[in-house]
Structure 1
């Protein structure tokens, strides 16, 4: 009879026959269906079981059970016991429970090292990875395999087992022997794929050769952390709160920046350089959020030293680009939050900015950002911030690099943003300089006096200006276009011949029957009034006097003559306001005109009344000893006193009344 080892070897060799292999593959496809029927029966542990190794994968455990029970291959074993090995790879829990029952172990222990591929991801004991788990061939520590063969219980070739951490490509060393893991080189028959116990049985020489060549390497903190996490699944640190693939990549990116800077290219970054970066990055990230922020602070100096606009990609390089490129994956949100919070706490960014997504709040303002938000000229704002002591005298820095905390300047910025100079106040009200002056004289617009150094600056409150406009429009009817006979307040003053302030008084006093608000305009341009109504309600009382032009017509003389009469005091006059045009004019009262006509008469009118030539009449008056009453100068009329004409005038004028 053949020994057990010879029998197993012979059966294994028999499976290299293509016909038998095809038959076995067809049978294996029916395992899932058979397992559903067998699952309803009571399952008992196998006659021969093996202890479950720490970190041993379920597939490796099935391989060990197959070797312990004399089954040539793990595939044959799974088919015989109705365990679907492909179902285990797809994440079917019932297959794990069935295998655990057969091996007399707790199913939860198998789950801690269960490798599942689903939706493009690989899960190792629930830890999520992508393209970081090697399932082709075997990665192992030859010294650990020799220890398994020598020290573990059970049949000899059922002792070696595959650890889940070895399957992670990022894990480069054995944490027990501090040697590099090796990749299997021996040919693996497709039918023996995943069958680690059978592989070790066939390639024992490879294991011994690798063990002889093994040399101690530097202990890797990153490898120890990954092994600990995959075995114990407990890590209270910040890295432990992240998905495994996120934590791993974070260490690699931080390490790359630490070694090469933010401007270096990460292309073809692999092998020993990648392991070195991962180790360096882990030493930083293992310190948690505070350590990561200290690392970022070293990169922040680039922002303060730059004179141009600098974004996250220029600031944090590969780290920012990595997180920006994974915005659709929520696994990276915790890391993004750390980087984003640090940026908000360090730089003058806020709502309206984008840094790994929209920025929700602001902690720091720069002179530039504050001037834009509060609509204050940056030069004026910078000077006022210096006067208030909020910022120092940073002459060498641009407005974008002078930062101050928003909490320390919120009240001051609100106050500054509410203050404007007269030109801006007029633009806000949409009123002319004269109209603005009238509003000030009336006390409707109150200026604010701001002391700065030794000078005084007159400013106005935007809030008060807006409240004033709101008060004016309180009773106005809104309109949204269309034809109308109403005009703006400024235009109404011209058409009605009144002052701007008079229309404002009518509006404030609610004395206008027609008042509309054009919502498409701003300031006083939005207020529409009827010019006819304004004219009727603003016309002044007639002063009762005659203008100099009217006096000229009444006296039937020239303009120059009337001007000389008024200026010389022979014709009394006074200054009065024109009731229509509201301008000051020189007027003569009717009674004064009548008195003047009673007392004086012009030579021109005397000649017309006596039907004589002016020169002849003037000669007669002179011969009679009658002189002009006064001399107005060349080019003016000559006047005589009527009393002299009545007593000593020529016979032709005696007894006549000339008006």
Structure 2
């Protein structure tokens, strides 16, 4: 590494400045205001001995590691404490404290890991196990792993959203830590390293410790500051304060009911059974309890401006109480809400009109496991509806059935319930018997939104499966994408073919992920991934019973990446741009303009573009930049550009914002080969003598 040029000290003669001035203003050569010469950057004075302002190559510090270690290459460090049901970042913190470090980040940098990017995110669990000498333990079961475009967190087989998981906002129970520190179990290792963090302390919906019936604290009792997420000691603060000395805030068992239910499902205490909520994911169960409790205490309208944290916690406890003896208390709540509906709306009573926020949340939620709750709400609205003897209109019947009026008209025409020549713009009345026939037909089919929810994917992803032929439409087929119907039996058969006889598993080990998450990570669309699973190219490794539809079928992300990672007929857009000699966004403009066809991997973020190698070779044979033109016709780039500008040759059109110019060879060949400028330039290049080799 060459040393930088030494800085010369400016002269103070006649400039009016002090000789000790550090950074005088640099002016052009000339006279200063005092009459003396100004300092020049390139002075003719002798600079004196040079000063070394940089290190020589042999003095540079060596990097901490030459490459990233594999999980099995970490040497164990003694912890001498028994295994606890704790997450990997809790074990890592105790290990850091055991080795004399108070910062988890510093210890992670010492051993060759990244704390916030790997350990706290649950990505290097096996490395932490090997580092602690606990290889083969059950730490991965109690460590949350985020995956998928929706950022779903899986903890002990239960599914939560990433916004419900906050390990950086550390909370603790002083009684749990005190019990670990003052335990009487013999041969349990050194006492200072016995306390550990519970995984359910980091769940946002858990506010209290159900074991000791006290509130989870976040501040240190000594300095009254929040606990730093980087602190290694589970029971100490950065200031040295003892967290076990914090005064516990007692709570009644009724106030800890929802906390007991959530922690029980996560394996932290004795589970609190619930007949209806145990069959859905943990995130859906928490929000179902919230909406049921909200409509019971505050009515059918939901105002989130009033829903602070304490109000939400009270609504969740109330909802859990109403759903405990399913379906008695829940149906009594629905009866009370129907009594408040005006009599004029009872004839066309819909779930949204009767139950408000609860019905809207059930309709919008993508969780397929909430179907029993949706069916209960729908059946109660149907039972409570008082139809007039003369029948109902098509609009009212569509509201009852939860479909559009267009769908109802098409189904009625197919069943022969609508006379021919009926003016569809007029007020059409349909009797209750005809409504029952339509309802029987609709129960045997699913709409697009309900079918996508059944598979646990979004509506656009489901539509791509339909376009690829993976999912077939079911009669009746109505004009318009929203009115297509699908058979639930066929969807069940598809899930059975995908899962096969794979065993059940309760955690994500290694690079396993659900089909939508694996599609997102592997940059392969579901329309390509599902056929690969069906024909055996990707083998399902397990089934997660708590996840709905395709989210519960686990595959290896490495196998998904291999679907396109070793393909010889395609290349990434970055590689194609590098080979063509332009930047990425310039080549992206060529793809957008249609000059070269490209395809995009399915996913919501970080979408990768691909081009076929045959299309790329064809494009290179037909088009080229100024550099390619100069090399092809034996010209310099300056002469090529001059000829193009003089003759006014047009480049291929590209969208605005993509600064790239390509020309078709056959359009500029005559100008670059037959023009006088080109012939003169070639003649001069031939007469130019070659330089002798040294």
* TM-score when normalising by structure 1: 0.44
- Structure with greater proportional helix content: 1
1 or 2 for the larger relative contact order (CA 8 Å, sep ≥6)? Answer: 2
* TM-score when normalising by structure 2: 0.42
Larger radius of gyration: 1
